[in-house]
Structure 1
């Protein structure tokens, strides 16, 4: 069984993935790290050099590869991964995959992401809190259709990693 973590950037997928992996004694894989290793460049550099369409094609290819080649692994996806190239169907139709949507409020995401803008290619150009909040609001509206197809939903606001790990364990088992 693989457990796939989905949610908007800044929802805590990577942090929770690592914590959940330790707690459940399962392997951990961050899809963005996997893509960077395979492509031999950062996600930001891929976006800059080849563009988003190239990235999304590679992301889908590597998602399929990871789901086929890994077992008993916690896999955290990029925020957009479930929303492109039929990826949510790949995740939800695979019998050996359980998916968890880490739902985080607009306010919490804005607060978390504002100081990280320069490391995130999709939001690096946004200069004010209001611009970022509007951007996230639009994306959450567009992406919620995909995110809500996850097998389980766990809210992350006002919780530490240990609390979210426990909620995920209860939902999954």
Structure 2
């Protein structure tokens, strides 16, 4: 089975994905890391050098490729992945694939991202908590319709990683 983790930045797709993969003895793949390996460029460099349209085409291509794998994988996708190129339909219609939306409240995301913004080019320029709240709120409003299509929703608010992993396993098995 392939388990696809979707959600906004800082919802825990990568950190929870690695921990879930370890617990289930699955492989873990981060789609952005996979793209970087295949393109020999960082995601931000792909955007700068080749443009967003090129990136989204490659993202679609590699996502389809990974969803055809026969082994057990936890696949973490970028926060925007479900929102472009029909990617959410590809995820939902793939065989032996389960999609999980790691759902976080606006306040949880703001608090997490204020601490990590330097590492995130999309939000590095944001100065205040109010600006961050407005930015994420608008983004979530645009993206949540895609995220909500996931087969399973697991809330991460006020939970430890172990609690979220347990919730995911209960939902899946």
Range of TM-score over shorter length: over 0.9
- Aligned partners of 1:55 and 1:128: how far apart in 2? 30
Aligned counterparts of 1:70 and 1:78: Cα–Cα separation in 2: 22
Instruction: Indicate how the Cα distance of structure 1 residues 45 and 25 shifts in structure 2: closer, same or farther if over 3 A, else same.
Output: same
SS in 2 for 1:101: strand
Shift >4 Å, 4+ stretches: none
- Computed over aligned residues only, the root mean square deviation of the Cα atoms, in angstroms, reads 1.2
TM-score by length of 2: 0.95
Pairing 1:7–2:7 present? yes
How many angstroms does 1:133 deviate by? 1.2
1:97-156 CA-partner distances (Å, limit 9, x unpaired): 000000001111111112322322322232222212111101111111100000100000
Partner Cα distance (1:49, 1:118) in 2: 21
Deviating more after overlay: 104-113 vs 61-70: 61-70
1:100 corresponding residue in structure 2: 100
- Number of matched residues? 173
**Residue number in structure 1 paired with 2:111:** 111
Distance 2:70 2:84 in 1: 21
Hey, what's the Cα distance between the residues in 2 that align with 1:70 and 1:87? 19
Is the CA contact 1:44–1:120 (under 8 Å) kept in the aligned structure 2?
Answer: no
Residues 146 and 107 of structure 1, relative CA distance in 2, 3 Å threshold: same
The residue aligned with 1:144 is 144
1-side partners of 2:163 and 2:23: how far apart?
Answer: 12
- Give the CA deviation at 1:70: 5.0
Instruction: Structure 1 unaligned segments of length 5 or more: list them.
Output: none
